[in-house]
Structure 1
Amino acid sequence: MHVVTEVCLDDVDGVVLSESVGADRVELCAGLVEGGTTPSIGTVAAVLARVSRIGVQVMIRPRGGGFAYSPAEVDVMLADIAAVRALPVPPGVAVGFVLGALTPDGALDEPVLARLVEACGGAPVTMHKAFDTLADLPDALERLVGLGFTRVLTSGGARTCAEGAPMLAALVEQAAGRIGVLAGGGVRAHNVAELVRRTGVQEVHFRASVPVAPAASASGVSYETGPRLVTAAGPVRDVLAALERDGG
């Protein structure tokens, strides 16, 4: 069984690198320190101009913070989806979207989600980890199936996939191929094979970043608060190798 690998990143060069070492898909974001926000249309265009095979899932999230959105914010999300869909896409590259919306009391905002999925025009759509904040994950999974989502990114309602493994396994069984269960949260080379064995997930999502020291400042004035993170080949290769050794 091939386990699909998805690298979460915010750098164009990291997408090219991830494709070159064999990852299947990327989740393209900005603002990863806030859990991921919508990348600029220029970033998406630059990525699509440089890839030939890897799947590109674009985060649609207009801001950090919670997941309950005003009508104006929903309009922003719809406009971002339309802008991405208008870009030229290389043959062989699948472009999709990662999104979510909740009501102020923390339930799925099904009317908003239905509008967003419809706007995606049949492209693959992932429900992001707002899913893990919900009170009843099995019920939410059924609702996402009904809304037409392709997959859900989840750590089983826990801080990490290792902690949420029993729920992940239950969601995989419940999904029964109707919707993908993408395991994300603390997935690393040392634990990915065991996670797949314990849960039956067929898709995994992970960061593959290393720190880069802040640039020097000639004046002593700096707007960098510490090292920034960039995608590196080593962590991607390590996850792929771990899955290969385990037959995935």
Structure 2
Amino acid sequence: MKKLLPVISLIFLFSACEQEAESLQFLNYSVERSSENCDPQTEKCSFIDLNFPVASGNESREKNINQEIQNHLSYILGYEDEPNIGSVEDLADVFIRNYEKTKKDFPGYNTPWEATIYGEISYESDKLISIQFNSEVFEGGAHGYSSVTWLNFNPETGAIYSPDELFTEDFKAFIEEKFRKEQGVPEGEPINSTGLLFENDEFHLPQNIGFSNTKVILYYNAYEIAAYADGPYRMEFPQNEISEYIKIEL
């Protein structure tokens, strides 16, 4: 019986290795499109330039990650409800096609549209993959729109973490206290008492929270809590400073 123990141990060891998920691998991917008769030298050129990481492989988690990235690109461009978009290439084609339609519907319209989205992995570990997207989009109007957004993935499943899965209940109160001090909002006063635009006059965490190798970044994009002219608002904390509020191991 004693001789069987090493053999059994080896069987369990090999079985555990087989069940252990392989590390995710990412590749850089880019899609570019431009309008007809595009002449960049005259700046009369509509274009879209998308650069972002994609998960390499055909497992369900890789498919989940890549679909979520595509959905996020659609969201940034405001095309999340656009029909017949099955790929990022389709998304870029729709952007140029919408510009060409606008130019056709309004003779004399010659304002070029531009969209540049650059995504990169800002943090990667066995428990978390954080992808940051820097975006500049102009589709006519008085001005374009710039944003910084993140997607935070569970590498084991390819699913996006919810804020509740990443942070404890006390995190919001901690951030609100810091926010009020930085923005000069008196304690006990409504959060919008100094001119901010929080919905229902209630503090909330930003829609986008990301991770770098050493920090946690909280980012309120333009319009989220203030007028466009006031721009975005960014807060950064060293990971070790707020580790008590982070549920996963970084």
Indicate the structure whose relative CO is greater, using CA pairs within 8 Å and at least 6 residues apart. Answer: 1
Q: Which interval holds the TM-score relative to the shorter structure?
A: under 0.3
Higher helix share: 1
For the pair shown, the structure with the greater C-alpha radius of gyration is: 2
Higher strand share: 2
Q: TM-score, normalised by structure 2?
A: 0.23
